[in-house]
Chains A and B, each alone.
Chain A
Amino acid sequence: MSAPPIVTAPVPSLGRDLVALTKPRIISLLLVTTAAPMYAAGEPSIWTVLLVMLGGYLMAGGANAVNMYLDRDIDDVMARTRLRPIPAGRMTPQQVLAFGVACAAAATWMLAFFVNVLAAGLALAGFYFYVFIYTRWLKRSSPQNIVIGGAAGAFPPLVGWAAVTGSLDIVAITLFLIVFYWTPPHFWALALMKQVDYGRAGVPMAPLVWGERETMHQMLWYTVILLCLTVLPWWVGAFGWLYLASAIVLGALLLGGIIKMLLAARAGRPWSGPAWWVYKYSLLYLALLFVAMAVDRTLAR
């Protein structure tokens, strides 16, 4: 007789909870959109890149922790967030808030002292935007929460660019807008599948306010603008043909996925499969697009 398989759940620990507060999986994409522009903007030393990565992680992690502090009431309602340290009772709200603020303070000092004040200021602006404009103000009051709140996630390319050049130009602003217009189709794909959770928590995500079909149409329009924006850096001469080809191929795949989802919904077929694909692919899309920028510039030097 063979013994039944033993299934072990991860043992909660303070270290694991502190890491969980920073939402490391989300931050990994933010770090790609920070590092790649650094190599697109110039030839940074490995130390500068590491410092900006660490500072960026702490700043974004701090913002995520403060977000969990502010959202502790609805985190308990949503299945997706019920196991976070505060609703699960493993940490007090005050501990989480202190951790988040400490992370942001450390990141500001590190970036200002070792990199430059502009990079530190931009990173801190992203922190405040995420905490106050998105989490505190828009998240529970407007279906535009993801659109305007998306600006918070668009600060990392500015930070990376500023860390290398000490200034901002049209390419940096275009990268900001690329992430800004990428955010709605990405998050609305998730929102389409988590409507029950968001409805229960009273978060006015687009599918709840506009309906599924209109949200999908909006995803399409935002993606059209996104694709046009990705061509702009090439048009002004900042990136070459390798980047352009990558932007077109990657963008066409994203657009195709959204059209597939929309057609499935229109035909009354199940659309959750294509929606999941759009959500997951959009993560890969943004990462590869930014890597293409860095590779394009590195090869051109």
Chain B
Amino acid sequence: MLMSVAVSDTLFWLAVALCSVAQLFILKAVFVPAPPPMGGPAEAGRAAGRLRPASRPLEMAWVVLPAVGLVLLFLWAWQLKHPDALVRTEGPVAVASSGGVR
């Protein structure tokens, strides 16, 4: 079964859009955190001094890292399907993409 390039590309961009929205909500939870829940099971850990707040810059780094990986993966996939998309001819050296899946 074959699928037209236009439909296939639309599916790709739909996936990119869905991932972007989801990733934004993931980032928001760390960059704009809600107040921690009071009481409940967390309280036992806090009372014992075991549950400590995490380092904010590190938290941000940990949540940004996978997002960057995701962007790179989608770029790689797009480049594989559309090798001409990243060919640059305006500079002194033309950079052609390579690759292809098995």
Instruction: List the interface of chain A (C-beta within 8 A of B).
Output: 138, 140-144, 147-148, 169-171, 173-174, 177, 180-181, 195-196, 198-204, 207-212, 214, 217-218, 220-222, 224-225, 227-229, 231-232, 235-238, 241
CB neighbours of B36 from chain A (8 A): 209-211
Contact assessment for A211 and B58 in the assembled complex, using a CB-CB cutoff below 8 Å:
no
Number of B residues, CB within 8 Å of A: 49
Main secondary structure of the interface of B (DSSP, over half): helix
26 contacts between A and B (CB under 8 A): A138-B62, A142-B58, A144-B54, A144-B63, A148-B65, A170-B76, A171-B102, A173-B73, A177-B70, A195-B42, A199-B45, A208-B37, A208-B42, A209-B42, A209-B54, A210-B33, A214-B29, A214-B34, A217-B29, A218-B26, A224-B19, A225-B23, A225-B70, A228-B19, A231-B15, A236-B101
Contact assessment for B51 and A141 in the assembled complex, using a CB-CB cutoff below 8 Å:
no
Interface residues in B1-29 (C-beta closer than 8 Å to A): 1, 8, 11-12, 15-16, 18-19, 21-23, 25-26, 29
Contact assessment for A196 and B101 in the assembled complex, using a CB-CB cutoff below 8 Å:
no
B85 within 8 A of A: no
Q: Which 9 A/B pairs are nearest by Cβ-Cβ distance? A: A202-B50, A199-B41, A195-B41, A211-B37, A208-B42, A228-B15, A221-B22, A144-B62, A224-B22
